[in-house]
């Protein structure tokens, strides 16, 4: 990479951070929310914006069915998972591959040629080469699997060229950029879907089906998280450590909310019958990342001068318009097993994951043994409930998904999204979901910075959530 490319890369990296920083101007830091000296609430970024003239909602956007879905992929580190999934789908063709590192693009093309006998077009070597690729007229959808700061410019340009944009998580860093995605999707009438693979995990689909079938009764509360020891990843060179650690140096909040939040938002029908209302966020002190660096001296101690500000554990509480609550946590620097918590409470039952546990009010009504008031269902009874309520997508694809990324959920997600495009159906999540789940990053940072004052959350549906119905559970498969 030459110096001009380095300068552009650093500018784009900084721009996402600067966008959040600018939004925090005037916010008090380190003051308790109840103190007399605490700052007044910052400007209301949760205010619903009017829909610009000429734009139409996309909550039920359908498209012309496609006999063959033509795909391009930008970013071939994470993106190779999507390439591999698409190569396993007989109705999908990988038309083009793109990466700043040309050797990755060549390797991806080699894999495609070996699998299908046809070599996709290769774009690589310069930062702006992707713009040539998305301008092609033989592509239906572009996968964007790049660092966070590139997601919005790439997705916007993709939609403006008449293609669907499938964007890795998080879709955007700032609330302003979330609105850019919403407005572009509405203006161009093109899909903008965030690739939240955790919505397609076996347990997440199981719980979604339980909730839709009424097993939990009236839903009241959910808990979710991203608890994942990434200390080694954050200091890796040539990977996420090249950019992801920067956010820990500038922002204190939930930096990666969507893996836990996406599934529980779907359980609760967020955006379709309910809506996020406001958020309160608190962070623990920052200790873990600094301790890891000081003890291990990664990369010949070249990070010795870095100062990290993101608390080890961030805990946020979301209140919804229907009065329900969601707890969401973020910790990627503590030594511990992986967990997304994935818990759902209702008047009829409770589910907790890691490991999976289920309690219900009337087990006999499902042909199960009676359980005590402080007991989870026995393993055998949980197995019976899985037989009854395994999601139809998982039933259909479990065998094909074996060996796929992240326990098979990557394959299930890609099959489902490609099948929606093939049939012309509305995907399981749309741009309003991508924006609502992603905006937790900036709003949690804002709450922490103001001494944990409540922050109103934007309604990207512009009121449509009141009448929008949840999408069906993949009936047309």
Bridge partner list, 320: 276
| Residue 31 clears pLDDT 70, i.e. is over it | no
Q: What is the pLDDT of residue 26?
A: 54
Q: What is the pLDDT of residue 372?
A: 81
Q: Is the bond into 170 cis (omega within 30 degrees of 0)?
A: yes
Q: What is the pLDDT of residue 25?
A: 59
Q: What is the pLDDT of residue 30?
A: 39
Q: What is the pLDDT of residue 15?
A: 61
Q: Give the list of residues 6+ apart from residue 65 with CB closer than 8 angstroms, or none.
A: 422, 423, 424
Q: φ, ψ for residue 195 (rounded to 5)? A: -80, 65
| Residue 436 clears pLDDT 60, i.e. is over it | yes
Q: Is the bond into 355 cis (omega within 30 degrees of 0)?
A: yes
Each residue's pLDDT tens digit, 35-88: 333 334 445 788 999 999 999 999 999 999 999 999 999 999 999 999 999 999
Q: What is the pLDDT of residue 16?
A: 65
What number of other Cβ atoms are within 10 A of residue 215's Cβ? 23
Question: What's the pTM?
Answer: 0.93
| Residue 477 clears pLDDT 70, i.e. is over it | no
H/E stretch holding 97:
strand 92-99
**Residues 317 and 280 sit within 8 Å (Cβ to Cβ):** yes
| Residue 11 clears pLDDT 80, i.e. is over it | no
Each residue's pLDDT tens digit, 368-414: 988 788 899 999 999 999 999 999 999 999 999 998 889 999 999 99
Q: Give the list of residues 6+ apart from residue 71 with CB closer than 8 angstroms, or none.
A: 82, 86, 92, 93, 94, 95, 139, 140, 141, 142, 143, 418
Q: What is the pLDDT of residue 288?
A: 98
In the chain, where are the structural domains located? 69-195, 199-391+431-466
Q: What is the pLDDT of residue 472?
A: 75
| Residue 2 clears pLDDT 70, i.e. is over it | no
**Three-class secondary structure of residue 265 per DSSP:** helix
The beta strand positions in 336-463, using DSSP E, are: 343-346, 349-352, 357-360, 455-456
Which pLDDT band holds residue 471 (cuts at 50, 70, 90)?
A: confident
Average of per-residue pLDDT across 244-262: 98
Q: What is the pLDDT of residue 373?
A: 84
Rounded Cα distance, 333 and 227, in Å: 9
**Terminal Cα distance for the chain, rounded:** 45
Which pLDDT band holds residue 27 (cuts at 50, 70, 90)?
A: low
Each residue's pLDDT tens digit, 318-362: 999 999 999 999 999 999 999 999 999 999 999 999 999 999 999
Mean residue pLDDT across the chain: 92
| Residue 10 clears pLDDT 60, i.e. is over it | no
**Residues 376 and 358 sit within 8 Å (Cβ to Cβ):** yes
**Three-class secondary structure of residue 354 per DSSP:** coil
CATH topology of domain 199-391+431-466: Dihydrodipicolinate Reductase; domain 2 (3.30.360)
Which pLDDT band holds residue 23 (cuts at 50, 70, 90)?
A: low
Each residue's pLDDT tens digit, 172-204: 999 999 999 999 999 999 999 999 999 999 999
Q: What is the pLDDT of residue 371?
A: 79
* Residue 41 per-residue DSSP state: P
CATH class of the structural domain 69-195: alpha beta
Q: Give the list of residues 6+ apart from residue 69 with CB closer than 8 angstroms, or none.
A: 89, 91, 92, 93, 140, 141, 418, 421, 422
C-alpha distances (whole Å) from 279 to each of 266, 325, 379 are 18, 10, 36
Instruction: Report percent pLDDT > 70 for the chain.
Output: 90
Q: What is the pLDDT of residue 144?
A: 98
Among 51, 461, 110, CA closest to 275: 461
| Residue 270 clears pLDDT 60, i.e. is over it | yes
Longest dimension (CA), the chain: 70
**Residues 424 and 156 sit within 8 Å (Cβ to Cβ):** no
Each residue's pLDDT tens digit, 118-157: 999 999 999 999 999 999 999 999 999 999 999 999 999 9
Rounded Cα distance, 320 and 266, in Å: 13
**Residues 369 and 378 sit within 8 Å (Cβ to Cβ):** yes
| Residue 32 clears pLDDT 60, i.e. is over it | no
Q: What is the pLDDT of residue 43?
A: 57
Average of per-residue pLDDT across 291-308: 98
Which pLDDT band holds residue 13 (cuts at 50, 70, 90)?
A: low
| 199-391+431-466 and 69-195 share a CATH fold | no
Q: What is the pLDDT of residue 303?
A: 98
């Amino acid at each position: 990479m030459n110096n001009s490319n380095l300068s552009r890369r650093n500018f784009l990296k900084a721009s996402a951070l600067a966008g959040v920083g600018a939004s925090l101007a005037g916010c008090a830091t380190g003051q308790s929310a109840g103190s007399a000296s605490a700052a007044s609430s910052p400007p209301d970024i949760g205010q619903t914006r009017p829909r610009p003239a000429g734009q139409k909602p996309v909550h039920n956007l359908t498209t012309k069915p496609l006999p063959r879905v033509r795909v391009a992929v930008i970013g071939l580190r994470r993106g190779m998972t999507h390439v591999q999934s698409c190569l396993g789908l007989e109705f999908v063709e990988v038309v083009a591959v793109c990466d700043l590192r040309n050797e990755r693009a060549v390797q991806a093309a080699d894999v495609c040629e070996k699998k299908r006998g046809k070599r996709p077009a290769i774009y690589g070597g310069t930062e702006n080469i992707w713009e040539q690729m998305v301008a092609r007229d033989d592509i239906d959808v572009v996968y964007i699997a790049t660092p966070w700061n590139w997601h919005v410019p790439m997705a916007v340009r993709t939609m403006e060229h008449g293609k669907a944009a499938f964007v890795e998580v998080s879709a955007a860093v700032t609330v302003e950029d979330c609105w850019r995605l919403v407005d572009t999707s509405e203006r161009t009438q093109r899909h903008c879907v965030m690739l939240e693979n955790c919505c397609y995990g076996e347990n997440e689909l199981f719980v979604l089906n339980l909730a839709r079938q009424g097993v939990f009764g009236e839903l009241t509360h959910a808990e979710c998280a991203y608890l994942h020891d990434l200390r080694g990843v954050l200091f890796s060179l040539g990977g996420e450590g090249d950019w992801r650690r920067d956010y820990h140096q500038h922002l204190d909040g939930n930096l990666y909310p969507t893996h836990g939040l996406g599934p529980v938002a779907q359980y609760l029908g967020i955006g379709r019958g309910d809506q996020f209302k406001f958020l309160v966020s608190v962070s623990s002190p920052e200790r873990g990342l600094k301790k890891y660096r000081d003890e291990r001296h990664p990369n010949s101690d070249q990070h010795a001068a870095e100062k990290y500000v993101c608390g080890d554990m961030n805990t946020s509480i979301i209140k919804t318009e229907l009065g329900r609550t969601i707890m969401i946590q973020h910790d990627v620097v503590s030594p511990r097993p992986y967990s997304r918590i994935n818990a759902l409470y209702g008047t009829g039952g409770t589910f907790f994951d890691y490991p999976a546990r289920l309690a219900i009010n009337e087990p006999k009504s499902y042909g199960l043994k009676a359980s005590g008031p402080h007991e989870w269902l026995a393993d055998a009874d949980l197995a019976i409930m899985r037989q009854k309520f395994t999601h139809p997508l998982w039933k259909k694809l479990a065998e094909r998904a074996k060996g796929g990324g992240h326990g098979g959920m990557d394959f299930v997600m890609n099959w489902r999204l490609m099948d929606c495009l093939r049939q012309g159906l509305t995907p399981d999540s749309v741009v309003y979901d991508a924006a609502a789940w992603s905006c937790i990053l900036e709003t949690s940072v804002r709450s922490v910075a103001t001494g944990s004052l409540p922050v109103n959350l934007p309604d990207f549906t512009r009121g449509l959530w009141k009448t929008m119905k949840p999408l069906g559970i993949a009936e047309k498969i």
